[in-house]
Structure 1
Amino acid sequence: MPLLKLEDTYLHKGKRRALVALLREKGIRNERVLQAINTLPRHFFFDSALISHAYEDKAFPIGEGQTISQPYTVAFQTELLEIKEGDRVLEIGTGSGYQGSILHLLGAEVFTIEYQRKLFEGTQRFLNRLGIKMHLFYGDGTGGLPSYAPYDKIIVTAGAPVVPEALVAQLKVGGILVIPVGDRRRQTMLRLTKKANGKVTREEFDGFAFVPLLGKDGWG
């Protein structure tokens, strides 16, 4: 996890503004999402060796075979979630904590679960230092967190072979699940919306490349 001092300079802020302008050019339209990305220093979530790359629109390794997602991917998934103030959101794949922190800035109550223990422990310490308040858990995210269900929104930040049934079951009526589904190399972003009759509508969006979702209903 990050080794740098938490300093946010004019240079960093200028790079964030440029990143936001790029995301807008690439089709992100939700101004609340763009403002959250402009507010949150992405370089805080980087090891010092990679800090110069923090505002590139690319994914970078964070250890344990995981990555911090490309900013466009974070913005795209967040936009699909249609976050409202006070939403209870379940995040599968805490990673660096960056995606969950964006959700937090949008006013969501975030429940997040991480499969890799070392990553979980490091991110937990870092978010406490940063003052970001989320409910962090260690375990198999493919089963969700039924004790805290139902959720208004669920986001999966790793590539899944299928949509885990447990996650759909933990959605509220009217709730949204955003998840990349495909093979280990390429996935299609899905948005599932749970209807009052128990049925689920499915929308398909762009192709992405995520690290594999691990766990019982993931890639093992």
Structure 2
Amino acid sequence: MATLRLGDTAPDFTQDSSVGPIHFHQWAGDSWVVLFSHPADFTPVCTTELGRTAALSGEFARRGVKPIALSVDPVDKHQQWIGDINETQNTTVDFPILADADRTVSELYDLIHPNASATATVRSVFFIDPNKKVRATLTYPASTGRNFDELLRVIDSLQLTDSHKVATPADWTDGDDVVILPSLQDPAEIAQRFPKGHKAVKPYLRLTPQPNK
């Protein structure tokens, strides 16, 4: 399977999970989805990550995002691991963990990188929009846990830039100034879209307050 590229349709699949069989596109419905892979159950970094995902359930829900995890261990191991996660991270895992024991999803999403490990999945994240398109990806080695503030920041940026003709600059977080797209040149349209005004640092670099705030 070739590497998934931005704009590709996220492959559909049916796979067992900690909450029963998941028919992926049907399960996703009209929501955004964050699908993230884990090298194995009962691993320390993954335990902290799944606990953090559960702790942020309200933040994901507020953004209309469904998180779903993947590990190549079977359901019974997932259930045991969830008990450990809830105990050690003081939370309640309330999202599915795919039991990808036959590597179906790992192959579809190119999660086995043989030069890193012949068996364990890399630590990848796929941001998938309601049209089932892959909008962003992040891939870390097994040794590096994800920054969940960054995951939420990416979602905020994708959702904002889908609804307004802006882009988000370096280190942007929700509420910061944004950049007006260079393709937008009509002064009347700019004034209409950005009534708070804007600052032209350069003709191609125009900053404006975040329009949905």
| TM-score under structure 1 length normalisation | 0.27
| TM-score under structure 2 length normalisation | 0.28
Greater helix content: 1
Greater RCO (CA < 8 Å, at least 6 residues apart): 2
Q: Return the index of the structure with the highest Cα Rg.
A: 2
